[in-house]
Amino acid sequence: MTTENWSNENARQTRAFLDTPTGQFLLDTLRMSIGMPTDGTDQGRTLVSAGEIRGRAQMLNLLLAHRQVPGQVAEKAEEYPSLDDDSKWTAK
């Protein structure tokens, strides 16, 4: 399955799983597996370590991004009603 085929139902199921104790345990386990970079004494090992960390972090971010459909932005609650909408400002 590709990202283009990711549906609202896929995103809903992913969110539902990641919100369970098992999903939270998986996320915590993945976060811990990202690791720390080496101490920098060996430049080659440091570069490899940094690449591994970046790859693991990207994998975790990809998993978290699949909680919603690509291109879909979560709706933001309106803090204040529009000044042009009289119905929002009249006493009820």
Quick: pLDDT tens for 4-46. Answer: 677 888 888 988 998 899 999 998 888 888 877 777 788 788 8
Give residue 31's identity as a one-letter amino acid code. Answer: R
Q: Which amino acid is at 77?
A: A
Q: Are 69 and 3 in contact (CB under 8 A)?
A: no
Region of 35 on the Ramachandran plot (φ > 0 left; ψ -120 to 50 alpha; else beta): left
pTM: 0.56
Q: Which residue has the tokens 């990207």?
A: 58
pLDDT > 50? residue 2: yes
